[in-house]
């Protein structure tokens, strides 16, 4: 009766949601049509089941603040994340909230399984969330960059590492929006200072934004590389660019490393070396048969069939390190895949469903 009766007005339905049982809330969430005020009541006090039913109800008028409230309350629930990921009308800040919830859930899942230490798991998940945020900003309309930056600033996620990642990825729009938000200056003036060839204007806005002085060499070198770049590298505005990375890595080796940007630059430098090795091909003089022979010797030594040479890693330690490395990559790739490829979120929702 509650689900189909036309006699109930919105005030009656709001009271039913506030005082009713979970079954009553679910019946209200299934009504067609479901008005915005009633949907807000379900989002505020409804059970996870009622919120999921309302999200999947095509006749429900759900305001954006109600969606944000659902994400804040039940963003850790896999089924609700999956249903929201499939919606195409969500703005970038809401999607970033889902990414943040997912990364935290995966970190807790890995820590609960004792695959990684809690602090280590959360650091990896945070780095993956930052990468996914930059990818999300690159895929979103340019008009949503300001709202995304305000959300990141309000939630404490707008760090120097995230801003540097955006710059190294070539996402200058996100970088300029971040400086404008932190410095309180108009966006047009920030753009003029960033692209000032003299360099003094950028240092002034850098200090006004309150970014750490230890990261200044990396930012300055990245800006110089951006000005010198004559063509765009492939990969869009969500992937780190080799031309941009080559400049900031060298100064930090001699002048000390910034706390927020050093891990990013170390990983970026590693990716650059790996790319160079792939382009160079196999080592000269090492044939395929010799490579297979060397791999077989290492495998025999690890499995105990041969005697490891001095300095070799013992079998239990090797297996433990390999396991931790695989699981660490699983955490990062899982969070990034769910953020940047929305159709893959169904698989990731199942992965985190036990959390």
What are the pLDDT digits (tens) for 96-130?
999 999 999 999 999 999 999 999 999 999 999 99
Reply yes or no on whether the pLDDT at 38 is more than 70. Answer: yes
Nearest partner of 37 among 12, 20, 55, judged by Cα: 12
Mark which of 49, 74, 99 sits at the end of a domain: 74
Q: Does residue 287 fall inside a structural domain?
A: no
Domain match, 212 and 123 both: yes
Domain match, 144 and 2 both: no
Nearest partner of 240 among 278, 268, 274, judged by Cα: 268
Query: 234 or 137, which is more confident?
Result: 137
Q: Does residue 215 fall inside a structural domain?
A: yes
pLDDT at 352: 46
Within its chain, how far is the Cα of 19 from the centroid?
38
Domain match, 82 and 211 both: yes
Rounded CA-CA distance 300/308 in Å is: 9
Which ranges constitute the DSSP H helices of the chain?
10-19, 22-29, 36-45, 48-55, 64-74, 78-85, 92-112, 118-139, 145-154, 160-168, 172-183, 187-194, 200-208, 216-228, 242-255, 262-280, 288-303, 315-340, 345-351
Q: Does residue 323 fall inside a structural domain?
A: yes
CA angle (66, 70, 71) in 5-degree steps: 115
The model's confidence at residue 263, banded by pLDDT at 50, 70 and 90, is low
Q: Does residue 129 fall inside a structural domain?
A: yes
Task: Name the DSSP class of 305.
Answer: S
CB 71 within 8 A of CB 84: yes
Rounded CA-CA distance 50/17 in Å is: 10
Domain match, 118 and 12 both: no
Q: Does residue 212 fall inside a structural domain?
A: yes
Domain match, 23 and 132 both: no
For residue 33, cis peptide bond before it (omega within 30 degrees of 0)? yes
Domain match, 101 and 44 both: no
Mark which of 44, 74, 104 sits at the end of a domain: 74
Q: Phi and psi for 34 in degrees, rounded to 5? A: -115, 115
Mean pLDDT of 131-145: 90
Domain match, 97 and 47 both: no
CB 260 within 8 A of CB 215: yes
Q: Does residue 328 fall inside a structural domain?
A: yes
Reply yes or no on whether the pLDDT at 337 is more than 90. Answer: no
Domain match, 111 and 66 both: no
pLDDT at 39: 96
When divided into structural domains, the chain yields a total of: 2
Mean pLDDT of 291-316: 46
Rounded CA-CA distance 260/157 in Å is: 12
Strand partners, 34: 60
pLDDT at 226: 81
The SS3 call for residue 60 is strand
What are the pLDDT digits (tens) for 185-201?
999 999 988 887 766 88
For residue 212, the enclosing domain spans 75-281+315-351
Contacts of 13 (CB under 8 A, 6+ apart): 28, 31, 35, 38, 41
Domain match, 132 and 63 both: no
Domain match, 183 and 332 both: yes
- What's the predicted TM-score (pTM) here? 0.66
Q: Does residue 296 fall inside a structural domain?
A: no
Domain match, 105 and 169 both: yes
Mark which of 23, 41, 74 sits at the end of a domain: 74
Q: Does residue 295 fall inside a structural domain?
A: no
Query: 341 or 117, which is more confident?
Result: 117
The SS3 call for residue 92 is helix
Domain match, 126 and 250 both: yes
């Amino acid at each position: 009766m509650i689900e189909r009766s036309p006699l109930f007005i919105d005030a009656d339905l709001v009271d039913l949601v506030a005082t009713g049982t979970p079954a009553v809330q679910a019946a209200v969430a299934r009504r067609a049509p479901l008005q915005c005020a009633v949907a807000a009541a379900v989002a505020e006090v409804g059970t996870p089941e009622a919120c999921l039913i309302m999200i999947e109800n095509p006749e429900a008028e759900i305001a954006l603040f109600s969606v944000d409230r659902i994400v804040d309350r039940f963003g850790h629930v896999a089924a609700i994340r999956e249903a929201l990921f499939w919606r195409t009308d969500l703005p970038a800040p809401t999607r970033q909230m889902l990414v943040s919830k997912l990364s935290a859930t995966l970190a807790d899942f890995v820590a609960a399984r004792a695959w990684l230490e809690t602090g280590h798991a959360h650091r990896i998940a945070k780095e993956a969330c930052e990468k996914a945020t930059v990818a999300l900003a690159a895929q979103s309309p340019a008009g949503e960059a300001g709202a995304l930056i305000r959300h990141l600033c309000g939630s404490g996620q707008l760090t120097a590492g995230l801003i540097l990642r955006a710059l190294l990825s070539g996402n200058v729009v996100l970088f300029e929006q971040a400086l404008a938000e932190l410095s309180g200056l108009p966006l047009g003036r920030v753009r003029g200072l960033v692209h000032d060839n003299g360099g003094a204007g950028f240092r002034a806005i850098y200090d006004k934004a309150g970014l750490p002085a230890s990261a200044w060499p990396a930012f300055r070198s990245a800006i110089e590389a951006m000005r010198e770049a004559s063509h765009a590298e492939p990969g869009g505005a969500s992937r780190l660019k080799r031309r941009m990375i080559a400049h900031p890595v060298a100064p930090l080796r001699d002048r000390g490393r910034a706390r927020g940007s050093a891990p990013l630059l170390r990983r970026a430098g590693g990716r650059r070396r790996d790319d160079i090795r792939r382009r160079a091909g196999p080592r000269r003089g090492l044939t395929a048969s010799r490579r297979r022979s060397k791999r077989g010797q290492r495998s025999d030594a690890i499995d105990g069939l041969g005697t490891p040479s001095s300095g070799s890693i013992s079998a239990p330690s090797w297996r433990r390190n390999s396991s931790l490395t695989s699981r660490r990559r699983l955490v990062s790739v899982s969070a990034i895949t769910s953020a940047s490829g929305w159709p893959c979120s169904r698989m990731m929702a199942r992965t985190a469903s036990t959390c």
